[in-house]
Amino acid sequence: MSTTFQLDTSTSRATPTPKPRKRLTVPRIRDHKKDGVTKEPLVMLTAYTARQAQLLDAHCDMLLVGDSLGQVIYGLDSTLPVTPEMMIAHGAAVVRGSYHSVVVVDMPFGSYEASKEQAFDTAARIMAETGCAAVKLEGGVAMAETIDFLTNRGIPVMAHVGLTPQAVNVLGGYAARGRSQQEHEKIIGDGQAVQEAGAFAVVIEGVVEPIAVALTKELEIPTIGIGASAQCDGQVLVTEDMLGMFERVPRFVKRYEDIAGMIDKTVEKYAEEVRARTFPTKDQTYQPKD
């Protein structure tokens, strides 16, 4: 039987244990939308570590190892300094920690734009060294030739149009896109181009809702919204944002919990017990007769 490796959560070590492979596939994600309609929206969240992947896997159809890890994990100002090595390290961890979701890894800025050959080299390395099912890259018409080149060489591609964070310096910030007719037409054209090039799905980020709705109705491939519309074929959020790990989040984020507040209170209690010498107790120490 084909197996994957799942971390044993009953220990503190990353002990691999075989588990039957029940992972979704890229074709199944693509075919989730039939005759232009998706009955049940696809669920996607970001993941950067094996343990995080374990916790999210059962509830998601796809896990995105996003270049947002530059900001979320490394405290960088943007995604631009993220390297392929960073994506590979975290991508491999997420694959090890999951067995159900399709794992998609972002191609970082500067690793694919120069040429379609550069894109293939980067994508092939990411897939070989992580075991992921697909890569994601930003851009529409400008990247269509590259998407076609990759997909015809066995590399599934998820596209990303609208607000593209890697182009933040050209766009002039993170404001929603599509408020002008020119932008509206560009985003629609970008979506059409990536579909024709062979992308199996497309992320639509930070656009005015009518564009997201129109593009979702027009495309045969699934659209994954983030700051777009509930009418998209699926949704994705940065997990740390929706869990409430940060005080400042984009408008399109809904906080489902206040994990940062929980951590703060828990650590405060720990610090108080350490300073009062009430931790550790006999329950957490070894005695001669144990």
The residues that are catalytic are 205
Task: Count how many Cα atoms sit within 13 Å of the Cα of residue 260 in the half-sphere of its side chain.
Answer: 12
Instruction: Give kind and range of the element (H or E) at residue 3.
Output: strand 3-7
Sign of CA dihedral 78, 83, 88, 90: negative
3-state secondary structure 227-250: CCCCCCCEEEECHHHHCCCCCCCC
Alpha-carbon gap, residue 45 to 166, rounded angstroms:
19
**Residue 251, exposed/middle/buried by CB under 10 A (0-12, 13-18, 19+)?**
exposed
How many of the other CB atoms lie within 10 Å of CB of 74? 11
Per DSSP, 140 falls in state S
Of 238, 237, 181, 236, the residue nearest 214 (C-alpha): 181
Q: Which two tokens stand for residue 156?
A: 């599934």
